[in-house]
Chain A
Amino acid sequence: MSETPTRTALRPTASGRLQAWLPRLVLAPSVAVSPFFVYGFMLWTFVLSLTSSRMLPSYDFVGFGQYARLMANERWWVASTNLMIFGTLFIVICLVLGALLAMLLDQKIRQEGALRTVYLYPMALSFIVTGVVWKWLLNPQLGIQAMVRSWGFESFEFDWIVDPDMAVYTLVIAAVWQASGFVMALFLAGLRGIDDSIIKAAQLDGASLPRIYWRVVMPCLRPVVFSAVMILAHIAIKSFDLVVALTGGGPGYATDLPATFMYTHAFNRAQIGLGSASAMLMLGGVLAILIPYLYSELRSRKHG
């Protein structure tokens, strides 16, 4: 007898049932579409990389022939070496600069909000805009070199962008300019999370300010460094628009990165098979970074 009201209360109403299903309904389209458009196309790219496709996809399988061609391709090696140089310098400089800016901004200075926005602003621009702006700045006839020469320093030279050996470093300059503010914001958030009295305690213990940051604060920011490296690494590997806007891969193909190599071969030079093979190698590179990251994330969640 007394169970009757409980039972009616348990019976779900129509709106309650909708509530329960709503998240699933909303997510359903993307769940339905992503296996095809993400994993399906990944798979298709892999299949194409095993064929001799040129202008249009064909299914004439040649095994790993395209990969062999890729390994023998000098331009691919230039692109890979560039990625190593660009990626390493970009990540390291961004981290150092971002951490430094964050520490300086953390000294309870006036107008911190305004300064923070100034440093963060480049992140709001697309890499295309960054690339174009820096192309003008670095142009020997228009930009910094011309300006300094007009001040009277006639022998001043800053023509990296037209120098095949140095052009890749101009990519680093522009990318660092864009991303270091973002890294600064990450570090600043991390610094704000640290108990003020830890720093006071270290002061009382007789540690100098650089030492406090190096010995006490930075070890607390390891998770921030980790996330920053992850984000920067994938920005570096995906870099395409910056190269297109800043150097167009030139001079010659001196500033090619794997992404521009892939695009040029797959869509401009009618080498879909070769382009696909390079795309798969890039995917391998991303996975090599992502899998350890996901693994450690999942493991720590299990422990937490």
Chain B
Amino acid sequence: MAALEIHNVRKEFGSERVLKDVSISIDSGEFLILVGPSGCGKSTLMNAIAGLEPVTSGNIYIDGKDVTWRTPAERDIAMVFQSYALYPSMTVRHNISFGLEMRKVPKAEREAAVERVADLLQISHLLERKPAQLSGGKRQRVAMGRALAREPKVYLFDEPLSNLDAKLRVDMRTEIKKLHPRLGTTIVYVTHDQVEAMTLADCIAVMRDGHILQLGSPDEVYNNPVDMFVAGFMGSPSMNFIRATLEADGDGYALRIATPDEVDLLLPWPNGPPYGRAGGAARQAGDSRPAA
């Protein structure tokens, strides 16, 4: 059964349409990454899943239940925010157990959950500190601990690593990747960093202007991008685009590429009919197929 299903979700702010008929379905335990340039609607979609923003139309199902009009608390989700959003006046221990306390979990169980999470994230020695006394990386861990304490159906990560320095970001990325199979829970993760997307995801949704352009495994998105935008967005260093003309060449086709010294290159098209008649052809750099 799909752990999370988003069905034709639309979101409008006044006359501006931020999400245009977005549909996604992921299985239980999958790691979905929403990636795209800023303003593409990925954070809005995340907020819609969390219930922090009502959708204009469409439905959201978590674990088979329609939660479109449920409050965030009723959806059984946990979220890690970009700014960490730790409660400044509470200790780390209290930060982690607050959600459980609000759900009237008995004290002994709360304590056990805090210990378990603190152990998992190696923050046991920080439990009595206040967030202001922690470094960015430690705060990040506490924010994750708060989400993990409550074993929800879906975890939402909203650009959790973008406030960390480069080294720490790589470390935390590895840690999240290791953590995922151990938790076995569905994760939805928003990022604008395509390296994060490629390394972490089971499934990537590339978004632009409120549309999902492509939904597939990192391998698919990387090797078979649906259009030039996806092709240019994924991969580092980014792909080269070369303008070429498609021509008939005997039985098959060939690409004619104009070079600056006015010597045209004619490259045979490997197999089958190409996508279109003329325009840009795109292949990832380092790919064996001809292009660059």
Give A residues with C-beta under 8 Å from B: 195, 197-198, 200-207, 211, 215-216, 219-220, 222
- Give which listed residue, B79, B89, B103, contacts A201 with CB less than 8 A: B79
| Chain A residues whose C-beta falls within 8 Å of the C-beta of B103 in the assembled complex | 206
Q: Given A198-B87, A200-B72, A203-B72, 18 other A-B contacts at CB below 8 A?
A: A195-B83, A197-B85, A198-B85, A198-B86, A200-B52, A200-B81, A201-B79, A201-B86, A201-B146, A203-B52, A203-B73, A204-B73, A204-B77, A206-B103, A211-B102, A216-B87, A216-B89, A220-B89
CB-CB nearest in chain A for B73: A206
Q: Using a CB-CB cutoff of 8 Å, which residues 140-185 of chain B contact chain A?
A: 146, 150
Q: How far, in angstroms, from A27 to B264 measured CA to CA in the complex?
A: 79
**In the complex the two chains form, is A207's CB within 8 Å of B81's CB?**
no
Q: How far, in angstroms, from A75 to B180 measured CA to CA in the complex?
A: 75
Which secondary structure dominates where chain B touches chain A?
A: loop
B99 interface residue per 8 A CB criterion: yes
| Chain A residues whose C-beta falls within 8 Å of the C-beta of B87 in the assembled complex | 198, 201-202, 216, 219
**In the complex the two chains form, is B88's CB within 8 Å of A204's CB?**
no
B23 interface residue per 8 A CB criterion: no
Give B residues with C-beta under 8 Å from A: 50, 52, 71-73, 77-79, 81-83, 85-90, 98-99, 102-103, 146, 150
Contacts A205-B73, A206-B73 given; does A200 touch B85 at CB 8 Å: yes
| Chain A residues whose C-beta falls within 8 Å of the C-beta of B73 in the assembled complex | 203-207
Q: How far, in angstroms, from A277 to B82 measured CA to CA in the complex?
A: 60
| Chain B residues whose C-beta falls within 8 Å of the C-beta of A206 in the assembled complex | 73, 99, 102-103
| Chain A residues whose C-beta falls within 8 Å of the C-beta of B52 in the assembled complex | 200, 203-204
**In the complex the two chains form, is B102's CB within 8 Å of A219's CB?**
no
CB-CB nearest in chain A for B52: A200
Q: How far, in angstroms, from A216 to B99 measured CA to CA in the complex?
A: 12
Contacts A197-B82, A200-B52 given; does A207 touch B102 at CB 8 Å: yes
| Chain A residues whose C-beta falls within 8 Å of the C-beta of B98 in the assembled complex | 202, 205, 207, 215
- Give which listed residue, B71, B72, B83, B102, contacts A197 with CB less than 8 A: B83
| Chain B residues whose C-beta falls within 8 Å of the C-beta of A220 in the assembled complex | 88-89
CB-CB nearest in chain B for A216: B87
**In the complex the two chains form, is B81's CB within 8 Å of A197's CB?**
yes
| Chain B residues whose C-beta falls within 8 Å of the C-beta of A215 in the assembled complex | 98
Contacts A204-B79, A206-B103 given; does A219 touch B85 at CB 8 Å: no
CB-CB nearest in chain A for B149: A205
Minimum C-beta distance from A263 to chain B (A): 44
| Chain B residues whose C-beta falls within 8 Å of the C-beta of A207 in the assembled complex | 73, 98, 102
